[in-house]
Amino acid sequence: MTPGIRPLIAGNWKMHGTLRDAAALAEAVRAGAPAGVDLLICPPFVHLHVVAAAMLGQPVAVGGQDCHAAAKGAHTGDVAAVMLRDVGATHVILGHSERRADHGETDAGVRAKAEAAIGAGLTPIICVGETLAQREAGEAEAVVAAQVKGSLPEGFLAAGGVVAYEPVWAIGTGRTPTEADIAAIHAVLRGLTSPATRLLYGGSVKPANAKAILGLPHVDGALVGGASLVAADFLAIAGAAGP
Ligand SMILES: O=C(CO)[C@H](O)COP(=O)(O)O
């Protein structure tokens, strides 16, 4: 943790569940939200409006998992940042490795989306992280630094933008980097951002490892995938971030 930075625990629900599942999960998270920690849930687009309406005035923020760089236009299947804001989202995840891999997203494209998000009044959460091959080649710090430099637009830090370090090989695999490796990357991220920037770790965060990971220097929260689909697990991770 970084003294003076309130932790953020964000759940990325990815492409899971029905609308009924989403509403029940959101309600369970709301009911158990601990004090002293900011909570964010990011449902699939089609569930976002209902979940955001249910969380209005509650201590759980709601975010999108992506947005388009344009404010409107002929972009079939895409969603604009202003549309996310309009239905009650406050955050948006950008540049997740699954989108970089599945949709060919580049640092420049992520930067353009982040500009749109900031313009719409959303807080962007930009994901960076190396592949296993890059880590084994000793390139992890350089890869992450290049992604940060390429993906963060001007005004990102002033707008309270968040950076999430998610090593690609740790996502959904049950494998996590060593605590020293996480701390080393987060020190690089701190040097490239600001003393007030929230830096999240993501990749197989579970109740069992949350306390240790969240206790590392410059780790100001977590971006949680699989464990965020189980309210008790997500809340246990949030509890590990609390005072
Ligand atoms: O979804 C994640 C948070 O963005 C990230 O991919 C980690 O997933 P997990 O390994 O299932 O927690």
Q: What is the mean pLDDT of residues 151-175?
A: 94
Higher pLDDT, 173 or 107: 107
Q: Is 204 annotated as a binding residue?
A: yes
**Ligand 1 centroid, distance to 43 Cα (angstroms):** 13
Q: Which of 94, 97, 126, 166 maximizes ligand 1 atoms within 8 Å of its Cβ, making it the mutation to test the pocket?
A: 166
Beta carbons within 10 angstroms of residue 109's beta carbon:
19
Domains within the chain, CATH numbers bracketed:
8-241 (3.20.20.70)
Closest residue by Cα to atom 2, ligand 1, is 225
pLDDT in tens, 81-108: 999 999 999 999 999 999 999 999 999 9
Closest ligand 1 atom to the C-alpha of 172? 10
Q: Which of 100, 223, 230 maximizes ligand 1 atoms within 8 Å of its Cβ, making it the mutation to test the pocket?
A: 223
In this structure, what token pair is assigned to residue 110? 């992520």
Q: What is the mean pLDDT of residues 223-233?
A: 98
Whole-number pLDDT of residue 17:
97
Instruction: Tell me what the pLDDT averaged over the chain comes to.
Output: 96
Whole-number pLDDT of residue 173:
87
Q: Does the structure show a pLDDT above 90 at 22?
A: yes
Q: What is the pTM of this model?
A: 0.97
Whole-number pLDDT of residue 124:
98
ipTM: 0.95
Q: Does the structure show a pLDDT above 80 at 145?
A: yes
Q: Is 169 annotated as a binding residue?
A: no
Q: What is the mean pLDDT of residues 200-224?
A: 97
Ranges assigned E (strand) in the chain: 8-12, 38-42, 60-64, 91-94, 123-128, 162-165, 199-202, 221-224
Nearest to 43 by CA among 104, 89, 8, 108: 89
Confidence of residue 172 (pLDDT cuts 50, 70, 90): confident
% of the chain residues with pLDDT over 90 = 95
Nearest to 43 by CA among 70, 25, 67, 31: 25
- Among 96, 98, 105, 115, which one carries the catalytic annotation? 96
Q: Does the structure show a pLDDT above 80 at 243?
A: no
Whole-number pLDDT of residue 235:
98
Whole-number pLDDT of residue 126:
98
Torsion sign (Cα): 212, 218, 220, 226: negative
